[in-house]
């Protein structure tokens, strides 16, 4: 009898410890899955809207137009991502950010993605915990001076005061270039662009340095652009493009392949005006894979992005291919593609998409 009771107790305590063990391992695995990086793609789908961190003060890239709407090259990439994920390019909440606030806003999950003329660098990629997609615009830093100043090179600017924005690569490159070459200068730094521009116009600084695309944009906004000259020298490499948080690979992969998809569409001759006929009748299997349709009676290829297989059709019909977006926003600033890094690879540039296969 005693023996039976003892056995019963052993079985009960064994069952009990197994229960505890199971509960603990459950807890462990659930913490593990929640700490293994968030899935912002799911959040965007559930919310029905993409929250995009942008610039609101840079004509051509991100600006609020006279109708009170955001527009520009970067804005079109926010729209493209929304079209890919949600099937509707208008499902975007734009969050305007200064250069110095942008990375914190992304890390704090105030935005899903940052598309704000942002340069891909090692420290921003690694230390700040971001993931950059392929660049959408290859830029470089320049220096703008008044035409009347007589400055014609960086070397001629010894002793100059230079206006620069805080929290940018610009600030660091400026010092590399001047201090590195033993050229004395005084930086005048600003948190936002408008007071910087005022200081430049009032002559409180002799030069204004930033990305050459930014200088083209600001120069075009002056009442008399020819009063200002952008020096020929390019001080740095500024590859600009979208970024997501580290370990957010579902969203990252979607953004990356939207970027590539727009490049590939241009290369394949698919534009907003012909995408529906190309999708109805693709001329080759590669085009069918890009547009998420079958070829010659076959099934469409699903790359497993977790969004509709024909996502690139929505992107191209609602936003356009790379060339359409570039021509619309950047050509008016005088940023021609021919002979630049932003030409297609087939024309000597760096705009190149890996295979959709």
Ligand X SMILES: N[C@@H](CCC(=O)N[C@@H](CS)C(=O)NCC(=O)O)C(=O)O
Among 118, 130, 136, 209, interactor with ligand X by CB under 6 A: 118
Cα–Cα distance, 82 to 245 (Å, whole number) = 17
Q: Is 211 in the site for ligand X (CB under 6 A)?
A: yes
Q: Is 133 in the site for ligand X (CB under 6 A)?
A: no
| Nearby residues of 223 by Cβ (< 8 Å), 6 or more positions away | none
Q: Is 117 in the site for ligand X (CB under 6 A)?
A: yes
Binding to ligand X by CB under 6 A, coded x per residue (else -) over 261-280, reads --------------------
Query: What 3-state class would DSSP assign to 69?
Result: coil
Instruction: Look at residues 312, 329, 291, 251 and name the one whose alpha carbon lies nearest to residue 84.
Output: 312
Min dist. Cβ of residue 278 to ligand X (A): 35
Q: Which residue has the tokens 């977790």?
A: 306
Min dist. Cβ of residue 117 to ligand X (A): 5
Tokens of 167: 């929290």
Q: Is 193 in the site for ligand X (CB under 6 A)?
A: yes
Min dist. Cβ of residue 267 to ligand X (A): 26
Min dist. Cβ of residue 257 to ligand X (A): 23
Min dist. Cβ of residue 320 to ligand X (A): 23
Binding to ligand X by CB under 6 A, coded x per residue (else -) over 25-64, reads ------------------------------x-xx------
Q: Which residue is nearest to ligand X (CB)?
A: 214
**How many beta carbons lie within 10 A of that of residue 6, not counting itself?**
10
| Nearby residues of 64 by Cβ (< 8 Å), 6 or more positions away | 56, 70, 71, 96
Binding to ligand X by CB under 6 A, coded x per residue (else -) over 235-254, reads ---x-x--------------
Among 25, 186, 192, 247, interactor with ligand X by CB under 6 A: 192
Q: Which is nearer to ligand X, 60 or 292 (CB)?
A: 60
**How many beta carbons lie within 10 A of that of residue 105, not counting itself?**
17
Q: Scanning residues 156 to 175, which ones bind ligand X (CB under 6 A)? A: 165, 168-170
Q: Which is nearer to ligand X, 119 or 264 (CB)?
A: 119
Q: Are 105 and 221 in contact (CB under 8 A)?
A: no
Cα–Cα distance, 265 to 344 (Å, whole number) = 11
Lateral strand order in the sheet of 62-64: 57-58, 62-64, 70-71
State the number of binding residues for ligand X (CB under 6 A): 19
Q: Is 314 in the site for ligand X (CB under 6 A)?
A: no
Q: Are 171 and 208 in contact (CB under 8 A)?
A: no
Q: Are 276 and 312 in contact (CB under 8 A)?
A: no
Min dist. Cβ of residue 143 to ligand X (A): 13
Q: Are 135 and 241 in contact (CB under 8 A)?
A: yes
Q: Which is nearer to ligand X, 55 or 301 (CB)?
A: 55
The site for ligand X (CB under 6 A) is made up of: 55, 57-58, 98-99, 117-119, 165, 168-170, 192-193, 210-211, 214, 238, 240
């Amino acid at each position: 009898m005693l023996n039976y009771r003892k056995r019963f107790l052993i079985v009960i305590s064994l069952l009990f410890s197994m229960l505890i063990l199971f509960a603990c391992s459950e807890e462990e695995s659930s913490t593990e899955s929640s700490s293994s990086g968030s899935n912002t793609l799911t959040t965007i789908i559930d919310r029905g809207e993409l929250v995009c961190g942008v610039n609101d003060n840079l004509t051509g890239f991100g600006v609020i137009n006279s109708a009170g709407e955001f527009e520009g090259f970067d804005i079109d990439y926010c729209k493209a991502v929304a079209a890919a994920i949600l099937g509707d390019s208008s499902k975007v909440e734009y969050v305007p950010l200064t250069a110095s606030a942008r990375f914190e806003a992304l890390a704090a999950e105030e935005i899903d993605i940052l598309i704000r003329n942002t340069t891909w660098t090692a420290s921003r990629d690694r230390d700040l915990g971001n993931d950059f997609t392929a660049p959408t615009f290859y830029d470089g830093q320049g220096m703008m001076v008044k035409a009347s100043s007589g400055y014609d090179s960086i070397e001629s600017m010894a002793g100059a005061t230079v206006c620069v924005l805080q929290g940018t690569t610009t600030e660091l490159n400026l010092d590399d270039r001047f201090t590195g070459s033993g050229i004395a200068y005084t930086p005048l730094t600003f948190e936002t662009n408008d007071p910087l521009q005022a200081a430049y116009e009032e002559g409180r600084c002799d030069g204004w340095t930033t990305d050459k695309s930014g200088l083209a944009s600001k120069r075009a906004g002056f009442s008399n652009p020819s009063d200002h000259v952008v020096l020929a020298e390019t001080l740095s490499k500024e590859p600009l493009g979208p970024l997501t948080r580290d370990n957010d690979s579902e969203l990252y992969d979607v953004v990356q392949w939207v970027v590539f998809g727009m490049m590939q569409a241009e290369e394949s001759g698919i534009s907003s005006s012909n995408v529906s006929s190309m999708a109805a009748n693709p001329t080759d299997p590669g085009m069918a894979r890009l547009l998420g349709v079958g070829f010659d009676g076959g099934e469409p290829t699903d790359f497993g992005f977790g969004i509709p297989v024909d996502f690139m059709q929505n992107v191209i019909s609602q936003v356009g291919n790379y060339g359409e977006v570039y021509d619309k926003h950047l050509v008016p600033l005088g940023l021609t593609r021919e002979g630049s890094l932003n030409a297609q690879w087939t024309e000597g540039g760096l705009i190149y998409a890996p295979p959709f296969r």
